[in-house]
Amino acid sequence: MRDVRPAVVISDEAGGSYGHPDHRRTHAIVVRALDLAAQEGPGTRGTPLAGVQPVHAAVAVAEDRLRAANASVTEQVRGLGPLGALAQPLLVPGTDLPSLAVPAEGVDLEVDTTSVAPAVLAALRAYRSQVQGSTIPVLDTPLQQRRATDQLTPDQAAIGWYALSNDVAQPILPVVGLVVVRGDAARLRDALAGLPALARPGTDGAAPASPVAAPDVQPLMTPPSAGRIAAVVSCLVLGVLVGVVTTVVHRWRLGDLPLGMLLALVTIGAGALLSRAVTRGAGLLGFAVGAVGAIQAMAFLVAGGDVLVPGDTLGMVWLLGSVLAIGVAAFLPDRWVGRHRDRGAEAARP
């Protein structure tokens, strides 16, 4: 602080934007740093900040704007296919607003960020460990970037969307709102006078307009990692092995009890659950392709002159039951595979 001597310091708000503990701590550190920068004491370095202190502002968004943005994103992502690193459909935002949402009159300044939208999108896509399915539709077209940027306006509800690791779609807003934590709004506006700023959201009492119709562009999928590809291939191989072994033993009986069939169905269901737990939908699909393919192939193979899956009742039960067991594993609740998906509006925490 003493070396740079900034006019404005921007941080998360006290609630951590959406309750993230690291973001809450960042806010507290900035507040403490501003206090210490103005004090003299033993061991301090640099000249203490004297006179007018920097304005401390926090990122915020007007509640009406965020509700309109969430509604816009909900409308656009419904019905889209699997997206992102986990190949899952994006969930729509919830109705609860995060802590960075404040009444419109509480936002001291909004800065139009549409001119830097390509940089925002590039930054989101560079953060592949946490961000997936990010898109600004008008930029994901063959149009020249400058021309596409001109189609974005600050009165749009949302110019795009992204999701964190909980698969909940979040809007990309055309503006950044700021609220003054320390200092006054006039000094904040003076310090940022060179930026394309708006006086205050909703000055006419109207909600932000819905976005203009965008080209029919699907959100880009985060490229799968080598580890994920290897995991899916492993699930495919596991499916083949399980399909072969269970087909061999499915006709074994203990007296009149079809114990082999029971063990085979349980085994194939457990293998499907394991694959789903490892890589979600992609792993389960790989296992299903391997297992069902192996079972169907062995229905035409012979061993000692006998088919392994004859066309009797037990054989038909196995052919259909194996598919049903995988289907049951696919639709069991997430808690069966150790996953608890948050369908609320809060973003996932790293």
Q: Which tens digit of pLDDT belongs to each residue from 7-28?
A: 899 999 999 988 889 999 999 9
Task: Return the SS3 of 268.
Answer: helix
Structural domain boundaries of the chain?
8-198, 226-337
What is the token pair recorded at 105? Answer: 């009159």
Reported as type and span, the H/E element at residue 162 is: strand 160-163
Q: What angle (nearest 5°) sits at the alpha carbon of residue 19, between those of residues 13 and 20?
A: 95
Q: What single-letter amino acid sits at 127?
A: Y
Domain 8-198 CATH class label: alpha beta
221-224 contacts at long range (C-beta below 8 A, 24 or more positions apart): 221/83, 221/84, 221/87, 221/132, 221/133, 222/84, 222/85, 222/125, 222/128, 222/131, 222/132, 222/133, 223/128, 224/85, 224/282
| Concatenated DSSP letters of 313-329 | HHHHHHHHHHHHHHHHH
Distance CA 131, CA 210 (A): 25
Within 10 angstroms of residue 105's Cβ, the number of other Cβ atoms is 11
Has this prediction a pTM greater than 0.75?
Answer: no
pLDDT in tens, 296-328: 888 776 555 555 677 778 888 888 999 999 999
In which residue are the tokens 């109207």 written? 206
Contact criterion met (CB below 8 Å) for 79 and 331 = no
**pLDDT category, 90, cuts 50, 70, 90?**
low
Q: What is the pLDDT of residue 41?
A: 63
Q: Where are the alpha helices (DSSP H) in 162-312?
A: 185-191, 226-249, 259-298
Q: What single-letter amino acid sits at 224?
A: P
Distance CA 187, CA 342 (A): 40
Contact criterion met (CB below 8 Å) for 56 and 184 = no
Out of 189-193, 256-260, 342-346, least confident range:
342-346
Count CA within 13 A, CB hemisphere, residue 97: 17
Mean pLDDT, the chain, integer: 78
Average pLDDT over residues 166-177: 88
- Give 257's DSSP letter: B
Using the predicted structure, report yes or no on whether residue 347 has a pLDDT greater than 60: no
What is the token pair recorded at 325? Answer: 């067991």
pLDDT in tens, 54-84: 999 999 999 999 999 888 888 877 656 545 4
Q: Kindly give, in sequence order, each residue whose CB lies less than 8 Å from that of residue 137, ignoring residues fewer than 6 positions away.
A: 76, 160, 214, 215, 217
